[in-house]
Amino acid sequence: MFIFKTSMLMDDDLRPVYRCPVCGNIGLIREHDPISDNAPEYCRCCGGFVLGRSNLDTNAWMRVWHDHGAKHLWEMPFEERCDYQRILVEEYSKKHIYIPSEADIRDLDFEERAFTQNFFKTISDPDKKIVVETSGKKIEFPYVTNTIYKLDGDRIFLAVGEKYNSKFLFLSDEFQYNNNVYRTAYVGLLPDIFQLSMPLDETCEVEDNDGNEYMIYVE
């Protein structure tokens, strides 16, 4: 996912010394480690959003940048720089950010990009299982992230996502809020497809709207 933040366009004092992985120019003031990097920045040349774990489509960004004149951001005054970067972000977002249609959501037939554009990795681990215990039953699913698993037709379903070495549980709107629910949103994913998300590094205990209790965990 790509973001627009005016605050990231303000700094005119620091001199870029690192090469941008998007355009290849010297446009960054920091190194960006793929594992530990939590400090994003815009390239001072192409405006590309650079973060160690960024899933920016670099080829797509370069096409948008060249379509709009391939101007170097930090050669412009601040206000002009902001206007130009906003145009680039909006154009990139229209073409390269996935929002599922009503039919996709109704049929639970949507692109995996709903997960991956939010940095959730596609992982399949045959040594792990997603386990759901409810009403005296134990239901097991393969440990495959970014995948819908249905518990009751198309009403009650879940998925597991993984990023930053942590697991996340996604639940349909048949489940109730509790104190472990993350108050957040993910583009094209929540609240589009799912209603709730919460950490799954330990066992999750939840209820559906009919009062049925569930224990969900990975083993």
DSSP states of 92-141 as a string?
Answer: HHHHH-----HHHHHHT---THHHHTTT----EEEEEEEEEEETTEEEEE
Q: How far apart are CA 25 and CA 18, in angstroms?
A: 8
Of 42, 63, 96, which residue is a domain's last? 96
- Does residue 152 register a pLDDT over 90? no
Phi, psi of 90 (to 5 degrees): -65, -40
Average pLDDT for 180-184: 81
- Sorted by sequence, the CB contacts under 8 Å of residue 49 that are 6+ apart come out as 2, 3, 40, 42, 56
Tokens, residue 155: 């009403």
Average pLDDT for 139-156: 92
| 85 and 145 together in one domain | no
| 112 and 139 together in one domain | yes
Its domain, for residue 89, covers 6-96
The reported pLDDT for the residue numbered 80 is: 95
| Nearest of 8, 68, 91 to residue 43 by alpha carbon | 8
Point out the least confidently predicted range of 137-141, 163-167, 207-211: 163-167
Average pLDDT, the chain: 89
Structure-model confidence comparison of residues 12 and 67, the more confident one = 67
pTM greater than 0.85: no
- Does residue 1 register a pLDDT over 50? no
Residue 1 forms part of a structural domain:
no
- Does residue 50 register a pLDDT over 70? yes
Residue 51 forms part of a structural domain:
yes
Q: How far apart are CA 47 and CA 99, in angstroms?
A: 24
| 112 and 187 together in one domain | yes
Average pLDDT for 115-127: 90
Structure-model confidence comparison of residues 12 and 87, the more confident one = 87
CB burial string 118-154: b at 16+ within 10 A, e below:
bbbeeeeeeeeebbbbbeeeeeebebbbbbebebeee
- Sorted by sequence, the CB contacts under 8 Å of residue 86 that are 6+ apart come out as 4
The reported pLDDT for the residue numbered 174 is: 93
Q: How many other C-beta atoms can be found within 10 angstroms of the C-beta atom of residue 183?
A: 7
Residue 35 forms part of a structural domain:
yes
